[in-house]
Amino acid sequence: MRMGGTGLLALMLGWLCLAVPSLCDFLFGVWSGFSQGHELLLLAVAGWLLWRHRSPTDLPPQGAWPFWFWLAWGVGCLAYAFGRSQEFIRIELLSLWWLAVLLTWLARGWSGLRRTWFAWLFCLFAMPLPFGVVLMLTAPLKEAVSALAVSILSGVGYPIGRSGVVLTVGQYQLLVAEACAGLHSMFILEAMGLLYSHLAGHTSRWRTIWLAIMAVPVSFVANVLRVMILVLVTHHFGDAAGQGFIHGFAGIVLFALALMLMAGVDWVLGWVWPDEPGKTSGAKPEAVASPLGVAEGLAAEGLVPWRHAMLFVALLTSAGIAHVGRPQASPEANARALVPLEALFPQHVGEWQPDPVAVGFVRPAFEQAKRFQMYDQVLERVYVNPAGERIMLSVAYGRQQSVGLQVHRPEVCYKAGGFEVGAVQSGQIDLPGHALPVTRLVATMPERQEPITYWRLLGDKVVANEAAFKLDQIAAGLRGRGIDDGLLVRVSSLGADAEAAWRLQAEFVRELDRAQDDAQRRRTTGTRATGS
């Protein structure tokens, strides 16, 4: 009897050996920039739900373990090794979740999984969402929240206007960002709404269903109220008050308002579908001796220790593979990282000179990039020619361009900064002995239209195709060779005529090419044909 219990305990410790480093990296380490700050709360709630729904009546599976379990365990271990070694944070975390679900089945059987299904579903709300998905879904949410907040405040006499997601109140401008009205806040509020619905335990199934559905509009309304609070504080007490303590405190108010609204909706739904007296919808939790509900007699007949040992070895093997296979920067990348960007881009480019008046005008979200730990160096300059035309140069360098950590394309960063991004188109700039492939787009904000030209390099190779860029990264990691460094060069200018701006930018790039030596050209615009 004790042999089986010991085997399961060893598996739980083996799982923790995988989970603790991954969760520490995600919540506090290299991936903390991708977390939203609420994941620890969600995981704590999920742990409490697992404890709440424990029961001594749940027994482990009897007899031989089915083939699907061995297959599912192997897939989970391989997914963890692949996700952690190649820095796919979502695959890494999902594999840990999958292995934990399998451990629950191993300890408590199907009845245990049925009791804890909501806790495992709730854990998924802690998973980081792909940045592209966040941007795609956040834009309409921010637009809708901004429009409704402006309509309400202007209706009661406040001098407020809106252009996209930028609100103007009096002398102040506010950008409605993801934290205030984006998908992440909607996501956590929806999770809290579902938790409220689950814990309410109403006997009416329709009341529970509609309570879960109403969590979506309730979270939307709560976001509108948060934006209105920030606008009012900024209008009456200044920008420092709106962006200081009140900004963070508004997040707490957001959750309080959401819970109050959920309680109000629940009360209204109670008039339509009242609970039957003396009945509850779910089974009450029962006390047991151990944290995971593993009662005495866990090791039922038929459980053999060697099977636990095989699963434990699989966990340790996946951890070892993940550690050995972690991508490292190539020696060439490490050498290039020692060269400052200032040494690659001359101060004087033909007739173009640095513009001291415009220092700090180029803002490529460097602080946010440092938060995401994706850039090792950033260079910002503004050049001006005798005609008074200005070109903004922004260069981002990352020593290790793995799939997880890489420089972001401008169309992604500009959207995150509240810009509207027009159609992205491919092009090229003809240089001596080299046709430089570039990408062009126009980013627009109120009173600012910015045509942009940019290109990316992986090592000394210009990569114009996004799919080829990622495939090369994955192949490098799987083959075990060093990961190349990455460089993104962006030139832009302000003006309503995008075609004229792109021609001016192309001429600047050609002048830059003439002002550089061969080594600088190879680093900034890629390798060329021999003898060019």
Tell me: do 204 and 353 sit in the same domain: no
Tell me: do 205 and 352 sit in the same domain: no
> Is 498 part of a structural domain of the chain?
yes
> Is 220 part of a structural domain of the chain?
yes
- Residue 304's pLDDT is 44
> Is 282 part of a structural domain of the chain?
no
- Residue 390's pLDDT is 92
Which is it for the CA torsion 148, 149, 155, 159, positive or negative?
negative
Tell me: do 362 and 462 sit in the same domain: yes
Tell me: do 493 and 414 sit in the same domain: yes
Give the pair of three-digit tokens for residue 10: 């060893």
Q: DSSP for 231-277? A: HHHHHHH-HHHHHTHHHHHHHHHHHHHHHHHHHHHHHHHHHHSPPPT
| List of long-range contacts for 331-337, beta carbons under 8 Å, 24+ apart | 331/482, 332/459, 332/482, 332/484, 332/485, 333/399, 333/400, 333/459, 333/482, 333/483, 333/484, 333/485, 334/399, 336/399, 336/485, 336/523, 337/376, 337/377, 337/397, 337/399, 337/485
Mean pLDDT by 10 residues, the chain (532 residues): 62 90 81 68 84 78 85 94 83 93 89 88 81 64 80 85 72 60 60 76 80 79 81 76 58 71 85 72 44 39 63 85 72 79 90 74 42 66 91 84 58 72 88 90 84 88 72 63 78 92 95 92 77 42
- The CA-based angle 469-475-479, given to 5 degrees, is 150
Give the pair of three-digit tokens for residue 417: 């900064």
> Is 278 part of a structural domain of the chain?
no
CB 330 within 8 A of CB 484: yes
- Residue 441's pLDDT is 93
Beta carbons within 8 Å of 123's beta carbon, 6+ residues apart: 42, 43, 46, 97
> Is 398 part of a structural domain of the chain?
yes
Last residue of a domain, one of 308, 324, 340: 324
Tell me: do 498 and 381 sit in the same domain: yes
Tell me: do 418 and 498 sit in the same domain: yes
C-alpha dist (Å) from residue 23 to 6, 32, 44, 45: 25, 10, 13, 16
- Residue 516's pLDDT is 92
| Alpha helix positions (H), 404-485 | 410-416, 466-479
> Is 359 part of a structural domain of the chain?
yes
Give the pair of three-digit tokens for residue 336: 């290039």
Task: Provide the greatest CA pair distance for the chain.
Answer: 89
> Look-up: residue for tokens 């809708």?
144
Tell me: do 21 and 168 sit in the same domain: no
Query: One of 180, 456, 490, 523 is an active-site residue; which one?
Result: 180
One-letter amino acid identity for 48? Answer: W
Tell me: do 154 and 265 sit in the same domain: yes
Q: Are strands 353-354 and 172-175 parallel, antiparallel or unpaired?
A: unpaired
Q: Give the domain range for residue 384.
A: 331-525
Please state, in angstroms and rounded to a whole number, the distance separating the CA atoms of residues 521 and 523: 5
Nearest to 87 by CA among 332, 302, 405: 405
Backbone angles phi, psi at 332, to 5 degrees: -65, -40
> Is 280 part of a structural domain of the chain?
no
Classify 14 as helix, strand or coil.
helix
Tell me: do 94 and 240 sit in the same domain: no
Tell me: do 314 and 390 sit in the same domain: no
Tell me: do 310 and 432 sit in the same domain: no
- Residue 393's pLDDT is 93
> Is 124 part of a structural domain of the chain?
yes
Query: One of 226, 336, 440, 521 is an active-site residue; which one?
Result: 226
Please state, in angstroms and rounded to a whole number, the distance separating the CA atoms of residues 183 and 140: 10
| Alpha helix positions (H), 176-214 | 178-181, 183-200, 205-213
CB 454 within 8 A of CB 486: no
Count structural domains, the chain: 3
Active site residue 413: no
